[in-house]
Amino acid sequence: MAYQTLVLEQRGEHVLLVRLNRPEVLNALNTQMGRELLELWTRLAAEPGQLRCVVLTGAGERAFCAGADLKERDGMSPADWQAQHELFERGFMAMMEFPLPLVAALNGHAFGGGLEIALCCDFIYAAAGARFALPEVRLGIMPGGGGTQNLARAVGERRAKELILTGRQFTAEEGHAWGLFNEVSGMTDAVETAEAIAGNAPLAVRQAKKSIHYGLQTDVLTGYRFEIEAYNRLVDTDDRREGVRAFNEKRKPAFRGK
């Protein structure tokens, strides 16, 4: 499918690279990009085909995403602003519910909604020298793309309050030290990680992701019960049988997602 604000690139059979593609405005999130991101996540969740992992990055070398396009928003009526934001909300929720592993490769700066997009991913690689912030309180609003929830879960309540209430910028190295970013590295590492994930049993990967994500929303024993339910769905699968057979035959397994 052709997009105006996104570029899709297949990396092998099982990995898709998605680029936010408005480099002339630092990949700022406008209505069209919000519409296309929602369509993409919804379509891939329903019909992933042979895909097993997605890497999300930005076009150009300066920014992953500068946040919402404030030039487009200038002069918007409250009703139009809220209608646009509802579109964005649906996109953020689609990312957080996305069944495939989603890796963010922050090629440059990420502010506001741009950082919130990254926070909706399963984990994040951030480029050295890039800077990040949730500066919405400086504009008279607040994070509205899951930022107050996802940042606090990543770095803890106190650090999240400091960053959101001051709106200050921080570095990739700081984010890594706080546990927000997995590594300070580039696209190569992100794609290699995606390829490593894609080489594993896809049903097992999806069930494990779901167990971690939803288990953390509840107490440990309820989470463990969810884990066992997810585990038991894998016992009677061709991939489980192939994995054990390949181990005993000392060869690489050929997983089919069945």
Question: What average pLDDT score do residues 120-148 get?
Answer: 97
- pLDDT the model gives residue 122: 97
The pLDDT tens digits of the residues spanning 164-212 come to 999 999 999 999 999 999 999 989 999 999 999 999 999 999 999 999 9
Strand partners, 143: none
Angle at 216 between CA 212 and CA 222, to 5 degrees: 95
Domain residue limits, the chain: 6-197, 201-248
Q: Are 206 and 231 in contact (CB under 8 A)?
A: no
Whether CATH 3.40.640.10 fits 6-197: no
- pLDDT the model gives residue 197: 97
Q: Exactly one of 9, 116, 162, 174 is catalytic; which is it?
A: 116
* CATH number for the segment(s) 201-248: 1.10.12.10
The pLDDT tens digits of the residues spanning 28-45 come to 999 999 999 999 999 999
The pLDDT tens digits of the residues spanning 205-242 come to 999 999 999 999 999 999 999 999 999 999 999 999 99
Residue 116 bears catalytic tag: yes
- pLDDT the model gives residue 1: 73
Residue 97 bears catalytic tag: no
Q: Exactly one of 13, 136, 195, 227 is catalytic; which is it?
A: 136
